[in-house]
Amino acid sequence: MSAAEAIDHIAIGHDLARKAGVNLDKARPRTRRMWEARGLAVIALARGDLEEAKKIMRPFARKPR
C-alpha cells in the first residue's frame, strides 16, 4: 500500500460515513476504524481485489448469534 492510499482510505471512509449520515466526530473509535476500513476496502475493490476487501472487512463482520 502506498502512502497516498494510506491517506486516501481515511478520507474515503469519512466521506462514505457522511453520505450515510454518520457523524464520525461523535463516534466511538471502533466505529471510526470500521468506516476507515470501508474506505480501504473500496480501494481494494477498485483494484479488482475482492478477496483483499473481504479480508479488510472481516474484523467488522457481525457475529452470528
Closest CA to 35 of 48, 46, 22, 44: 22
Residue 43 is part of which domain span? 3-60
| The pLDDT of residue 8 | 83
Per-residue pLDDT of the chain (65 residues; tens, 9 = 90+): 666 555 588 999 999 999 999 999 999 999 999 999 999 999 999 999 999 999 999 999 887 76
| The pLDDT of residue 5 | 56
Assigned C-alpha cell, 3: 502512502
Assigned C-alpha cell, 23: 457523524
Question: Amino acid identity of 50?
Answer: L
In a domain, 21, yes or no: yes
How far apart, in whole angstroms, are the C-alpha atoms of residue 65 and residue 53? Answer: 24
Domain count, the chain: 1
Assigned C-alpha cell, 57: 472487512
| The pLDDT of residue 63 | 76
In a domain, 65, yes or no: no
How far apart, in whole angstroms, are the C-alpha atoms of residue 38 and residue 33? Answer: 9
